[in-house]
A and B are shown apart, each in its own frame.
Chain A
Amino acid sequence: MSHNNHDEHITPYKTYFIVWAILTVLTVITVAAARQDFGSVNLFIAMAIASIKATIVALFFMHLKFEDSITWVFALYPLFLLSLLIGLTSVDVFNRIVP
């Protein structure tokens, strides 16, 4: 049991410094990669790195790693809705038959 009256995880300072260092390095990599011309792969690289950064922020800064399953459900459900929003709108817009 922790000394806290609610039994919860307290993230050590060190974890935050490591996470911050990783996020900063990833930002530098993102900028450096975007300066090169890889064609359409640029978009993929940038979004992949952004998603890695977002995952790290959620897991450690937002303590999602230590949350219960119901919080996970409500953290991930909007992402599912977001993929529907972007995915289905794209399918609609790019498959219209213009008379």
Chain B
Amino acid sequence: MEQLTADHGHAHHMDPVEEYKQAKFGMWLFIGTEILLFGGLFAAYAIFRAKYPEMFHHDHLELDWRLGAINTIILIFSSMTMAVGVTSSKKGNNKLLIIMLAITIICGLVFGFNKYLEYSAKFSHHIYPSTSIFFSLYFMMTGLHMIHVGAGILAMTGVMILAIKRKFSKSYNTPVEVTGLYWHLVDLVWIYLFPLLYLIG
């Protein structure tokens, strides 16, 4: 087993083009599982919304759609800065990559801070996951999404440390691109969560 790892598993012994393609494909597979992870919750949302439309309408008015919209704008902007970071890395502009990662991470933190404001406002109004099926879904879906935002921030911080250590070049930036794909997934999920929970509940 150890020998097998030494022969095939070590990154530097692998064809860099193959490594790049496989890492990217692996992330797409993971994104597929993530879509289905959230899919279970979206299915629950669809069914309970169809069953209890009045409850969904009444409860969703408790949510602050303005804060939700601000978070949407922030997340879309951060998706753009991450994408710019990927291109700058491919062009060999390490400095721009670091700046873009920093902006993206800050956007993620601001998103989390807004979420904290939102949750604490709900708690102070005595709204908890047990309040109703709508809020149960609201906390579960946004909470699971928030965990993904946190994981994205950690991953981007790791990539930023590597960038500061000058580990990336025109010919090697696989972690930047793969982390970017993950961050765009976080954006993708929110694109559906925002209207479903805040706007048309």
**Interface residues, chain A, CB within 8 Å of chain B?**
3-6, 8, 10-13, 16-17, 19-20, 23-24, 27, 30-31, 34, 42-43, 46-47, 49-50, 53-54, 57-58, 60-62, 67, 70-71, 74-75, 77-79, 81-82, 85-86, 89-90, 93-94
B185 to chain A, nearest CB (A): 8
Of B31, B72, B79, B195, most buried by chain A (CB within 10 Å of CB) is: B195
The answer, yes or no, to whether B77 is at the interface (CB within 8 Å) is yes
**Interface pair A79/B35, CB less than 8 Å apart:** yes
Size category, B interface: 35 or more
Say yes or no: A23 contacts B195, CB within 8 Å: no
**B84: Cβ under 8 A from any A Cβ:** yes
Q: Are B69 and A61 in contact (CB under 8 A)?
A: no
Interface of chain B, main secondary structure? helix
Q: What CA separation (Å) do A4 and B50 show in the bound complex?
A: 51
B143 at the interface (CB under 8 A from A): no
Chain B residues in 8 Å Cβ range of A3: 170
What are 12 pairs between A and B in contact, CB < 8 Å?
A: A4-B171, A6-B16, A6-B17, A16-B83, A19-B83, A20-B76, A54-B188, A57-B79, A57-B184, A58-B184, A78-B32, A81-B36
Task: Give the residues in chain A near B16, CB-CB below 8 Å.
Answer: 5-6
- Do A10 and B35 touch across chains, with their CB atoms under 8 A apart? no
Contact A46 B91 (CB under 8 A): no
